Structure 1
Amino acid sequence: MNRTKIVIPREHGGWAMLIVPYMIGMTAAKPTVLHVPLFLAWLLLYFASYPLLQSLKRKKQTSEVYWGIGYAAAGAVFLIPVIWHAPWMLWFAPVLLALITVNIWHVVRRKERALLNDLCAILLFCTGGAAAYMLGGGTVGKELAVVALVNVVYFAGTVFFVKSVFRERKNKRYTVYSRAYHVAAPAVPLILGLPWLAAAFLFPLCRSWLFSGKVIKPMNVGIIEIIGSVQFLGISMMVL
C-alpha cells in the first residue's frame, strides 16, 4: 500500500456509532470546551484502529501500521488537555482496552463478523458517549446508565438488521431475530420512564419489518441507516 494514500475507515456504521453516542452524551450533560479535543482524540483513535486491525488481519507489517501509529499519536496529543483537567477520565482506559482486546482476538482469528465482536464494538463506541457525558458534569448513576443503555439498545438493533440483509440474509433465524429485537426495543425507554424516546425506535422497527431478509443494495442500506441514526440523535437530544 502506498504510504501517501490517506487511510480512513469506510464503514458508514462505524461513523454513526462514533458520532451519535458522543453527541447524545455531551448534550445530555453540559457541553464544554474540552469536548472538542476529546472528540478529536476519539476520532483519531478510531482512525488508528482501522489500519492497525487491518494489518493484524493480514498478519504482516504494512504501511497501514504507520498510519495507525500516526493517528494514535495525534489522538494522544488531543487527550493531553482533557486528562490534565480531568485525570479521572483515565478510568475509562481499562474498559476500552478490554473491549479492544476482544476485537483484536476476533480479527486475528478472522472472526470479525461474529455477533459478539459486533456487540463489543458497540459497547466500545458507547463508552465514548459515557465519557462525553461525564466530562460535561454528569455523575455516575441512573442518568449515565440511561445514556449508555439507550445507545447500546439502538445500535445493537442495527447489527441484527444489517446481518439479516447481508451475510445472514439466507439464514431465516436472523430475520426473526431482527424483527423480534426491534419489537422489544421500544419497551426499554418506556421502562426507563422516557415514553417520548420510544419514538426514536419506531423507525428501525418499521425498517426491520419491511426489509429484514430481503436483498438490498449496500448504498440503500447505508442511506436507511443514516436516516435512522439522524432521527435517533435528534429525538435523544430533545428528550435526554
Structure 2
Amino acid sequence: MKWYIPREHGAWAMFIVPYWIGASITGINLHHGIFFLGLLSIYFAQAPLLTYLRQPKHKDVWPSFIIYMICGSLFALPYIWIDPQLLVIGLFILPFFCVNLIFAKLKKERLFINDVVAITALSGLLLFSYRLGHGVITVEAFHYVIVTIAFFTGSVFHVKSLLREKGNVVFRKVSTTYHVVMVIVMTVASFYGAAVAFLVSLLKTLVLPKKYFQRPMQIGVIEIINSSVFFVAIIVGYYYG
C-alpha cells in the first residue's frame, strides 16, 4: 500500500501555526494534543484525495485515505460528541475545503484565489483549539483568525513574486506594498506582535541577499522560519504586548 503524505512546505506551516496559536493564547492542555492528532490524520487524508482528483488513474489512494480518516475520527469524534460546537466549526471550514477540491479537479490549484481559500480554511483551525482551551468562541478568536489569514496571504504574495511572478515587477511592488500596509494596520489595531511579524517579513525581502531566493526549497525553508517568527511574535505580543 502506498502512503500519501502532504509535501507542500507552506501548507504545513499554515496547518500547524493557526491551531497552536489558538491553543497557546487559551492555555495548552492535553485535549489540544489529542484533537490535533485527529486533525493531523484528516489533513493527511487530503493528500490521497487530491491526488485522485488530479489524476483519477491513481486507484491506490483509497486504502491510505480510509486509514487516515479512521484515525482522525478516533481522535476527533469523541470531542465532537461531547461538544457539538466543534462540529459547527468544522461545517464552517468545510466549504472552503470543497472549493480547494474543485480547483484541484480543474487543475488550477496555483491560482492566487485558491491559495487564499486554503489559508482561510487552515486559519479556521484556530477556532478549534480556542474552543478547546477557552470553552467558548469570542470575538478575540476571530481577530486572531483574521490576523493569521492576513499573514499567510502576505507569504503567498512573497512566494509568488519569487517564483511564478518572478519577472512581474508590478506584482512584486504589490507584495511589498501589502506588507507595508499590514505593518501600519496591525500597529494601529494594537496587534503589535503581528506588526513585528509583518515587519520581519518585509525586511526579509528587502535585506536578505537574492542568493537565498534562488530555489523553491530555499524559499520554503525561509518561509517556515518566517512562520515560526510569526508564531512567537503573536504569542509574545498576546502575553506581554
**TM-score normalised per structure 2:** 0.91
Which runs of no fewer than 5 residues in structure 2 stay unpaired? none
Deviations 1:154-212 (A, max 9, x none): 11111111111111212222212211111111123223222343112111111233579
Partners of 2:209 and 2:104 in 1: how far apart?
26
2:27 corresponds to 1:7: no
Q: What is the aligned partner in structure 1 of residue 38 from structure 2?
A: 41
Q: 1:193 aligns with which of 190, 193, 196?
A: 190
CA change 1:221–1:100 in 2 (3 A) is same
In structure 2, give the amino acid aligned to 1:222.
Answer: G
Aligned-partner Cα distance in 2 for 1:86–1:229: 30
Unmatched tracts of structure 1, length 5 or more: none
1:68 aligns with 2:65: yes
CA distance in 2, matches of 1:198, 1:239: 10
Match of 1:122 in 2: 119
Asked if 1:86 is matched to 2:83, the reply is: yes
Q: Which runs of 4+ in 1 moved over 6 A?
A: 211-214
Task: Please state if 1:143 is matched with 2:135.
Answer: no
Identical-pair percentage:
35
Q: Deviations over 1:74-133 (max 9, x none)?
A: 101111221133221110122222001110111111100011110010011111112111
For the 8 Å contact 1:99–1:124, the answer to whether it is kept is yes
CA contact 2:45–2:69 (8 Å) conserved in 1: yes
2:89 is aligned with 1:95: no
Q: Map residues 211-230 of structure 1 onto 2, 5 A cutoff.
A: 216-230=214-228
**Which structure 2 residues correspond to residues 166-181 of structure 1 after superposition, within 5 A?**
166-181=163-178
Distance of 1:198 and 1:233 partners within structure 2: 12
User: Aligned residue pairs: how many?
Assistant: 237
Kept in 1: contact 2:126–2:141 (CA 8 A): no
Aligned to 2:234: 236
Superposed CA deviations along residues 53-79 of structure 1, whole A, max 9, x for unmatched, are 111001334212321222112101111
Distance in 2 of aligned mates of 1:138 and 1:195: 26
Which residue of structure 1 lines up, in the alignment, with residue 53 of structure 2? 56
Give the root-mean-square deviation of aligned CA atoms: 2.0
Partner of 1:182: 179
The alpha-carbon deviation at position 52 of structure 1 amounts to: 0.5
- SS for the counterpart of 1:41 is helix
**Within 2, Cα distance between the matches of 1:141 and 1:190?**
22
Separation in structure 2 between the aligned mates of residue 194 and residue 131 of structure 1, nearest angstrom = 22
1:37–1:82 Cα contact (<8 Å) kept: no
Contact kept, 8 Å, 2:127 with 2:137, in 1: the verdict is: no
